[in-house]
């Protein structure tokens, strides 16, 4: 059985390599485990992208993956993903913006979606 996009995203977020040292890595992991303030909606948006990708094949009677739909995947879903990434230029609480960005981009790759 294939691992869900949601579980892969959560694993990437929890195990992200943080460039700024162990102190910042602990802060990031704490935010992923128990988000507060602005961290909660950021993680909710990233997880919603993963949940949509997980549900997409069933909604279309088993279409292989989101990226196979050039409109929904490559235009609409990727547009939302890019905008979530842009929000990481604002406040992120204890979350490491680069780690969240990387996790969303890896999710897109897993889904076969182009992120320019």
Give the domain ranges of the chain: 5-111
The pTM score is: 0.93
Whether 63 has a pLDDT exceeding 70, the answer reads: no
Greater model confidence, 19 or 8:
8
Question: Two tokens at 47?
Answer: 């997880």
Rounded average pLDDT over 70-89: 94
Coil vs helix vs strand at 33 = helix
Q: Sorting pLDDT into bands at 50, 70 and 90, what band is 101?
A: very high
CA 26 to CA 110: how far, in whole Å? 27
| Mean pLDDT calculated for residue range 72-91 | 96
Q: Residue 93: pLDDT band by 50, 70, 90 thresholds? A: very high
């Amino acid at each position: 059985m294939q691992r869900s996009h949601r579980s892969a995203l959560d694993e990437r977020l929890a195990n992200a390599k943080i460039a700024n040292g162990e102190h910042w890595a602990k802060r990031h992991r704490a935010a992923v485990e128990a988000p507060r303030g602005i961290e909660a909606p950021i993680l909710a948006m990233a997880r919603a992208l993963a949940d949509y990708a997980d549900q997409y094949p069933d909604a279309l009677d088993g279409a292989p993956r989101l990226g196979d739909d050039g409109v929904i995947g490559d235009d609409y879903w990727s547009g939302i993903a890019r905008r979530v990434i842009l929000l990481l230029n604002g406040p992120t609480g204890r979350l490491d913006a680069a780690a969240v960005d990387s996790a969303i981009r890896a999710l897109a790759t897993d889904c076969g979606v182009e992120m320019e």
